[in-house]
Chains A and B, each alone.
Chain A
Amino acid sequence: MTTTAASTPGSRAATAPAVEIHDLRKSFGSVQALDGLDLTVGAGQVAGFLGPNGAGKSTTIRVLLGLLRADSGSARLLGGDPWRDAVALHRRLAYVPGDVSLWPNLTGGEAIDYLARLRGRPDKKRKAELLERFELDPTKKARTYSKGNRQKVALVAAFVSQVDLLVLDEPTSGLDPLMEAVFTEFVREAKAAGTSVLLSSHILSEVEKVCDTVTIIRGGRSVESGTLDDLRHLTRSAVVAVVDGDPSPIAAMAGVHDLATTANGVGTRVTFDVDNSEMGRVLPAISALGVHAFTAQPPSLEELFMRHYGDELAADGVPAESTRSQAGAR
């Protein structure tokens, strides 16, 4: 199961999900790290794995890699048992840890070659391309790399191998926005080649850019999961419109929240939130008022996230507006 597996991912896609976790439990002493977690990554899909620090993302990934043994529940990886079949399964995946620790006496280039050779598929041309795109100097000793550069080494080492599954644990921590964009491109490229991706993150915009499905976890259990559209369906869109007529009747409609109006040179500027399920009934009502301008923004994952973790995030002082500007991207 070496090169053929990577070149014909379609056949595998039909057979088994890349990751299938059901009711997974794991405790460290008195700390319950995973408490009945469910997670599925369909073959060829990019799955976002979201949660605040300490929610159990890394523990889940370590169980999937056969580094930790789960207390109970089931975990399947590429159709195999992550603990028993670890070595065989690892031929088909690449892993990027959240906090990359390299061998101080090796250069970045040597570490990349070493990891790629362990997986058995080194590719010189591909390595050169990745080094150039990530702007990484491979001749420096690993102990002199910054955090961001260590992360780049791990990313290059992961993308250099053609694999069936990429397991990425907060892979962009320490990268600047330009490099994050390069990373996003390579994830899309991997997806186009049929590779499944499990991308753990607490950065919503990153997941939103590339993921097909999202699982949100908290306290070691999944609290929400589905496609981005599925999740958005549960939420509201933000509407801004400039109209001729009096918009106040709309405030009374079912599913409309927080309506506000201001006088405008052309007419009346109205802003409100509307449940996506009610959008179909609200639109004609607005249309009837004579519309000059209209925008409706789909909710960002940030908003989904705030709904699940609102209290904790507020307590941590995380600003709610930080990624709102990117919300309409899709």
Chain B
Amino acid sequence: MSAVTAAPPSSAPARSGGTTLTGTWSLVRFILRRDRVRLIAWSLGIPLLYLGALPEYVLMADDPAGLQARAALVRSPAMVAMTGPGYGTDDYTVGAAVANELVLWVVLALAVMSILQVVRHTRAEEESSRAELVRAAVVGRHAAVVATASVVLAVNLVIALLSTGVLVANDLEAVDSLAMTLGIAVSAMTFGAVALVAAQVTEHSRGATGLSMAVLGAAFTLRTIGDMQEPHGSWVSWLSPIAWAQQMRSYVDLRWWPAAIGVVAIVLLLVFASALASRRDFGGGLIPDRRGPADARAGLRSPAAVVWGQQRMSLLWTALGLGVMWLATGTVIAQIPSMTETLQENPVYSALLGEGDLEKAFLGIIVLYAALGAAAFGLVATLRAKSEEEAGRAEYVLATPVSRSRWLGATVVISSIGTVVVMLTGVLALAAGAAASGVDEPSFGTIAEAGPLYVPALLVLVGLAAALYAWVPRATALVWLVFGYTLVVEMFADLFDLPDWARRVSPFWWVPDSFTADVDWAHVGGLCAVALVLFVLAFAGFRRRDIATK
């Protein structure tokens, strides 16, 4: 590696042969080379996201009444939590809707990208000792940090420009589009800068990622609280970098200065990170890793106890996160009658919701979402057995007096319980939200009943994952194909006009629709039988096969 001194112009105090920034340009090129696939995926993915979301909004341009009904909906507290401060809702336009409803989610996605990207090239590199090799070459002390920050900033800007292109192509005002996407880039970059600080503080990349994600979560919560307190947000909102992008009022009454807050915050955070970096040793952190107990608690004496320890936090957060979302969704249901007419005129919605009682149809879809969420949790949890085996921990435990069935059973049972918990709490939250906002038809009991009815179908998916893992561990990804197929069948079967047999492949097709029809217990029994067969197959197969060697 030659001594190339080509730091970004904004941050190069000295340009002589051996500054702390020596080698930055080489590192930038190295990062681009190493991450070319992932960076291109992000750069194209976000513009594609706009491309996918925009048709729904553009359709509304010819439907002023629909836009106003939508504005009424997004002013409700539950929707404020999931959208934005609500600029322009008194005269909702397509642009105002896009800015109000999409900015939050794009900021979240890009903030996560920025955090992961920063930690990946700073603390994770140091931890793996790869950075030691690089630092020992002709590379300055700050080169890696500056190179990482530059690449993240550049990617955020590229995404902003491409997204602007997509927005303008859909007939939205150019200046406002640019302002909105740049605001998002600044906001996301703020979290990247937070991650840069976190990477100096903690010794391990997991800690740095966790700390940054916690800041992101806090920012999300502050914005939600502030925006719910007052229309257009209270002072609390302004504490959150997410709000800085939303407060630019794009497409309504554009102002640029909130983005300036972000720029100042980024500069301050970078200065802070560099001050921290100069105070610490290479490889060390400012906060040492937390210690744990020297002896295991009495209950830690079975594979199930270990699996529970690994899964309980993700179960808690999944159940809590999805629960809050379904609770909020439930409170919106009372407003559906006011949307009914506009919705039925919209071809996309009517294909999705089908004929008949819209409220029930809408509830049915939300319950389906809840079931898909629970299924995704169940598949991830079950397939953790595979990563345990690949890591060599299965081998280690199976060399103790633990039978194959006991080891696999621990994961399968706890994942199944977790799946059921996510499903039931989700539907209960939905039913509670609906009841709280005054919906009495369908009743709390009828909505809640839909949860247990989905359980057999969910167990079929978990059983399929377990059986695939037991017989052909290489092919476990197939279960996600089945998951995706189930989603497509349930959402778009009518739209695509799928034949009956193709629908019956989906386990969810057999789930009784308790809102509109009586429960067909034969279907419930059939699903239970299929699940049972899959579980039996899984245990039989796992007893038979070799445990993977590294």
Please name the residue on chain A nearest to B547 by beta carbon: A67
Contact A65/B292 with A87-B403, A105-B310, A113-B300 known, Cβ cut-off 8 Å: no
A90–B401 touching, CB < 8 Å: yes
Residue among A88, A110, A111, A143 with the highest chain B CB neighbour number at 10 A = A110
Contact A67/B294 with A114-B300, A140-B289 known, Cβ cut-off 8 Å: no
A110–B401 touching, CB < 8 Å: no
A119–B401 touching, CB < 8 Å: yes
A148 partner residues in chain B, CB cutoff 8 A: none
A111 partner residues in chain B, CB cutoff 8 A: 296
Q: How far is the CA of A66 from the CA of B292 in the complex (A)?
A: 33
B549 partner residues in chain A, CB cutoff 8 A: 58-59, 62, 67-68
Q: How far is the CA of A107 from the CA of B206 in the complex (A)?
A: 16
Contact A99/B550 with A110-B300, A140-B289 known, Cβ cut-off 8 Å: yes
Interface string of B130-150 (1 = CB under 8 A from A): 000000000000000000000
Interface size on A, residues (CB 8 A): 44
Cβ-neighbour of B547 out of A68, A113, A154 (below 8 A): A68
* Interface status of A281 (Cβ within 8 A of chain B): no
* Interface status of B533 (Cβ within 8 A of chain A): no
* Interface status of A106 (Cβ within 8 A of chain B): yes
* Interface status of B402 (Cβ within 8 A of chain A): yes
A107–B293 touching, CB < 8 Å: yes
* Interface status of B546 (Cβ within 8 A of chain A): yes
B206–A110 touching, CB < 8 Å: no
Interface string of B290-308 (1 = CB under 8 A from A): 1111111000111001100
Please name the residue on chain B nearest to A97 by beta carbon: B396
A103–B294 touching, CB < 8 Å: no
> Which range holds the interface residue count of chain B?
20 to 34
Q: How far is the CA of A141 from the CA of B203 in the complex (A)?
A: 12
B310 partner residues in chain A, CB cutoff 8 A: 103, 105
A93 partner residues in chain B, CB cutoff 8 A: 399
Cβ-neighbour of A107 out of B203, B292, B401, B550 (below 8 A): B292
A101 partner residues in chain B, CB cutoff 8 A: 391-393, 396
* Interface status of B204 (Cβ within 8 A of chain A): yes
* Interface status of A76 (Cβ within 8 A of chain B): no
A87–B547 touching, CB < 8 Å: no
Q: How far is the CA of A69 from the CA of B398 in the complex (A)?
A: 14
Contact A90/B396 with A105-B310, A107-B292, A114-B301 known, Cβ cut-off 8 Å: no
Q: Which of B387-427 contact A (CB under 8 A)?
A: 391-393, 395-403
* Interface status of B18 (Cβ within 8 A of chain A): no
B290 partner residues in chain A, CB cutoff 8 A: 141
Please name the residue on chain A nearest to B399 by beta carbon: A95
Q: Which of B179-217 contact A (CB under 8 A)?
A: 203-204, 206
Q: How far is the CA of A88 from the CA of B401 in the complex (A)?
A: 6
Q: How far is the CA of A316 from the CA of B204 in the complex (A)?
A: 36
* Interface status of B309 (Cβ within 8 A of chain A): yes
Besides the known contacts A103-B309, A106-B300, A114-B301, 11 further A-B residue pairs in the complex with CB atoms under 8 A apart: A59-B549, A62-B547, A99-B392, A103-B306, A109-B294, A111-B296, A114-B305, A119-B400, A139-B293, A140-B289, A141-B290
B residues with CB within 8 A of A: 203-204, 206, 289-296, 300-302, 305-306, 309-310, 391-393, 395-403, 546-547, 549-550
A-B contact pairs, 16 of them (CB 8 A): A62-B549, A65-B399, A87-B402, A90-B400, A93-B399, A103-B309, A105-B310, A109-B293, A110-B296, A113-B296, A114-B300, A117-B300, A139-B292, A139-B294, A143-B204, A144-B203
